[in-house]
Amino acid sequence: MTEVELAIIGAGPAGMAAAVLADELGLDTVLIDEQGAPGGQIYRAIERVAPDTPLGADYLAGRPLAAALRASRVDYRPNTVLWHADPEGVLFLATAGRTATLTARRILLATGALERPVPIPGWTLPGVMTAGAAQSVLKSSGLVPEGRVVLAGQGPLLYLVVAQLARAGAPPAALFETAPLENYLAAARPVAGLWAGRRRLLEGLGLIAAVKRAGVPIRRGMRGLRAVGRRRLERVAWEGGELAADYLLLHEGVIPNVQIGLALQLRHEWDEAQLCWRPAVDAWGQTSLPNIAVAGDGGGISGAGAAVLTGRLAALDAALWLGRIAAAERDRRAAPIRAALDRERAFRPALDRLCRPARPVMVPAEDDVIACRCEEVPVGTVRRAARLGAQGPNQIKAFTRCGMGPCQGRICGPVVAAIIADTLGKPIAEIGTWRPRAPFAPITLGALADLEAADFAPQVDS
């Protein structure tokens, strides 16, 4: 079995930055990623970016990262799925139906974020997608949605996608903002962070101005959003009105992608400011297991700029852990990175308050809204199971099949936990989360059978 010093999972900003620095520090590094090219979600298709890209300057920041990765000695493995990892560091990979194993002395999870599920009535209709989904399509292939496009929700990405679609020649018909008015008041409270985080604040204000310049109408304080249609989306309705629409692009912020960390049983904490689970880590990204660290948004949402920095900190710590550098050198090299990280994160508390999802986003009011898209389980079924005595997500799974479909609870997890918490009158932190298991992504029996017998041999210390 191949043995490496450091295996990094995910080639987004954190993974790319960590891999490049780890290579510089002389670590034998492998970088595993599901996509065909480096960049992650934020810098998707960055190597093919057109000179006249409508995606903007922030997107182009990913280009030097990808170039540095290509110039390094990192063993970069695209189109590769990690479907099982054991806590001792044995990784099971699948590439184009073939299986391979790898032993890593240290693992860095840089699995990024995913968009928070937005379980409104009709969210399973064709024509309803996430705002990030439309952005991904624009990044990979320059395709844009045609017809009357409505974006709804809140958060910086929502405004960014509206501005990008407008620049790409497809201005949306409307932007519906769902942030409650009290969020604006709460966000304005800590004036301290605003100055240190002024760059991010100005970026946000610039986005709002760009949306207005594009002539896209903004409606604030929208409540009771519904996607309506028979076989596909036909219109978007809200408390007090409706609008014919071909596409509804939803976005209520992003949450860490914790699937692999949960499967590895890393200790996780409920983040009440960001309303999500994240792995418990120290200032270097070190998790509750000695050989596993986390970097980037997978460890808590701070954005791509911070992800690069936490990736570098994790690489420095890995070099210390693997005996390449002394603690003094790690700390010396980390000091400027930490200063930059403080600046990146300064505006985050205000942003978290501004972008805190409204209660109906977390817990749908209507019993007939689909909670689990894969197994097609409505909210009411989850509520009934909770009343019957299912105390947490893992019991709900057995009662209702929620989380047993192909997405393995990645989408319905937050929804189901919030419904149970609401039904039982307990905090979500007490309700807990799924315990996902391998395979992390579906693999065929053929891929499994491809494993060589030697890969199963128990590791015996000689």
Binding site for another protein (CB under 8 A): 34-36, 41, 45, 48, 50, 52, 54, 114-115, 124-130, 132-134, 136-138, 140-147, 168-170, 231-232, 257, 373-376, 405-407, 410-411, 441-442
Q: How far is the CB of 61 from another protein (least distance, A)?
A: 20
Residues 108 and 84: their CA atoms lie apart, in Å, by 14
Q: How far is the CB of 36 from another protein (least distance, A)?
A: 6
Please identify, using beta-carbon distances, which residue of 151 and 341 lies nearer to another protein: 151
Residue 215: CB minimum distance to another protein, A:
17
C-beta closer to another protein: residue 187 or 307: 307
Nearer to another protein, 54 or 204 (CB): 54
From 417, 420, 430, select the one nearest 388 (Cα to Cα): 420
Angle between helices 304-321 and 327-345 (to 10 degrees): 170
- Whichever of 4 and 81 has its CB closer to another protein, that residue is 81
Closest distance of CB 176 from another protein, Å: 18
CB of 370 to another protein, least distance (A): 9
C-beta closer to another protein: residue 101 or 140: 140
Q: How far is the CB of 411 from another protein (least distance, A)?
A: 5
Cis, bond preceding 439 (omega within 30 deg of 0): yes
When the beta carbons of 137 and 424 are compared against another protein, the nearer one is 137
Q: Which is nearer to another protein, 231 or 388 (by Cβ)? A: 231
Distances (CA, A) of 85 to 16, 103, 142, 317, 438: 20, 10, 36, 21, 8
Alpha carbon distances (Å) from 200 to 273, 303, 350: 19, 10, 11
> Among positive and negative, which fits the CA dihedral 445, 447, 449, 453?
negative
231 CB neighbour count, 10 Å cutoff: 8
CA distance 294 to 299: 6
Instruction: Report, in Å, the least distance between residue 381 CB and another protein.
Output: 12
Nearer to another protein, 41 or 183 (CB): 41
| DSSP 3-state of 66 | helix
CB of 171 to another protein, least distance (A): 12
In the complex with another protein, the residue whose CB is nearer, 45 or 91, is: 45
Calculate helix-pair angle for 393-400, 413-424, nearest 10 degrees. 100
CB 230 within 8 A of CB 186: no
All residues at 6 or more sequence positions from 55 whose CB lies less than 8 Å from its CB, including other chains = 49, 138, 139, 164
Q: Do 322 and 6 touch, CB atoms closer than 8 A?
A: yes
- Alpha helices (H) along 247-374: 259-263, 304-321, 327-345, 348-354, 359-362
Which of residues 5 and 297 has its CB atom nearest to another protein in the complex?
297
User: Identity (one letter) of the amino acid at 136?
Assistant: S
CB 17 within 8 A of CB 296: no
**Torsion sign over Cα 29, 35, 36, 38:** negative
Angle 20-21-22 from CA coordinates, rounded to 5° = 95
Are the C-beta atoms of 315 and 21 separated by less than 8 Å? yes
CB of 81 to another protein, least distance (A): 9
* Ramachandran assignment for 275, one of left (phi > 0), alpha (psi -120 to 50 degrees), beta (any other): left
Query: Given the complex with another protein, which of 2 and 444 has the nearer CB atom?
Result: 444
